[in-house]
Structure 1
Amino acid sequence: MTDVFDFSAPTSEGGEQVLADWRGDVLLIVNVASECGFTPQYEGLQALADRYAERGFRVLGFPCNQFGGQEPGGVDEIQACGLKFGVSFPVFAKIEVNGDGAHPLYQHLKAQAPGTLGTQGIKWNFTKFLVGRDGRVIDRFSPQKKPADLAPAIEAALAVPKPQADGGQ
């Protein structure tokens, strides 16, 4: 069965990041935007990343310009916005999260954790997906859900032991 660790994503530097590098960690995957009313959530996301990093928690930001044109800039503008909010977690290259051009990772996330009434489409910037250590999507949170409010779900996901490495060679 496919899990999040089977995907890769384009980095802001022009390379490709294999998500399997974070196998065994708990991930919070968020579509972000620099000019959105929810952009101050960057601070809360960074606070979560700092609070839980030593326990194997990672935040991954995916810029997207599909909602109100709120991520119009290029890599430099996107990175500058992250710096403004003190972001040190990875912010990838701009992708699409909906439609025919949706990145395969987001196609997978939406299929694994549909939104309200079973709809798969991302409704707005700062939709959040919590992914367990096994690479399976645990839950999907709306943009209105503040990062600090995710702490109980993150704590529960971190309480699950890391999967043992496959002993077969």
Structure 2
Amino acid sequence: MRILYTLILGLWATAGWSAPNTAVFPSIDGGTIDLQAFAGQPVLVVNTASQCAFTRQYADLQALYDRYRDRGLVVIAVPSDDFNQELGTAAEVKDFCEINYDLDLPMTDLTHVRGSKAHAFFQDVKAQTGFVPRWNFNKVLIGPEGDILGTWGSAARPDSGAIPRAVEAALE
């Protein structure tokens, strides 16, 4: 199952194509987060919410990012109000995450992750794997070659168990 980097590493590199829409998210800091910039690296994409029982996983995501970032891991938080548990604005989300979790990993602007308004990345993941976020803090690990290496639900802690093992394998 290849998404994103198949086009990025193949057609994009040889034909000068730009990354597909699925590879670009609006950034919480303005501008965009273009997954093309992370070609060749594993990327963990996580839909998040600031008022959820799983919100404490922000600390786990930051710890995972801190542990592996020098080896190439990218962790991207995708704040979403699809489950009615996110703060009202991107600025509030950013402040909340910086103040409470000292978060410095890349974050998107508020983004839909399911349904007809889902961001194209999540639509592609659904089309290729059937995986759809059923709640906040669902995780999708994209390998260095663009393969979907794993998907996990809310209860899977980012800093222990299967996720770090999959990250380690992707970094080898």
Using structure 2 for the length normalisation, give the TM-score: 0.84
Instruction: Give the partner amino acid of 1:156.
Output: A
Deviations 1:21-70 (A, max 9, x none): 01111110000000000000000000010000111101001011011x10
Task: Find the aligned partners of 2:97 and 2:87 in 1 and give their Cα distance.
Answer: 14
Task: Find the aligned partners of 1:86 and 1:113 in 2 and give their Cα distance.
Answer: 33
- Aligned partner of 2:138 in structure 1 is 127
The alignment status of 1:71 with 2:71, answered yes or no, reads: no
Task: Find the aligned partners of 1:85 and 1:34 in 2 and give their Cα distance.
Answer: 11
Report the Cα offset of residue 14 of structure 1: 3.3
Unaligned segments of structure 2, at least 5 residues: 9-18
The alignment status of 1:31 with 2:47, answered yes or no, reads: yes
Task: Find the aligned partners of 1:17 and 1:129 in 2 and give their Cα distance.
Answer: 16
Give the 3-state SS of the residue equivalent to 2:43 in structure 1: strand
Contact 1:113 1:139 in 2 (8 A): no
Could you say what the CA RMSD is over the residues aligned between the two structures, in angstroms?
1.5
Report the Cα offset of residue 151 of structure 1: 1.0
Contact 1:55 1:158 in 2 (8 A): yes
Using structure 1 for the length normalisation, give the TM-score: 0.85
Instruction: Give the partner amino acid of 2:75.
Output: V
Q: Using the TM superposition, name which of 104-113 and 55-64 deviates more.
A: 104-113
Instruction: Give the partner amino acid of 2:151.
Output: R
Task: Find the aligned partners of 1:152 and 1:75 in 2 and give their Cα distance.
Answer: 32
Give 1 or 2: higher helix fraction.
2
The alignment status of 1:106 with 2:122, answered yes or no, reads: yes
Aligned mate of 1:90, from 98, 103, 106: 106
Contact 2:3 2:148 in 1 (8 A): no
Identity %: 35
- Aligned partner of 1:3 in structure 2 is 4
Aligned mate of 2:166, from 153, 157, 167: 153
- Aligned partner of 1:62 in structure 2 is 78
Report the Cα offset of residue 18 of structure 1: 1.6
Contact 1:36 1:125 in 2 (8 A): yes
Report the Cα offset of residue 2 of structure 1: 4.2
Instruction: Give the partner amino acid of 2:150.
Output: D
Deviations 1:85-143 (A, max 9, x none): 111101110111111111101111222333xxxxx432000000011001221110111
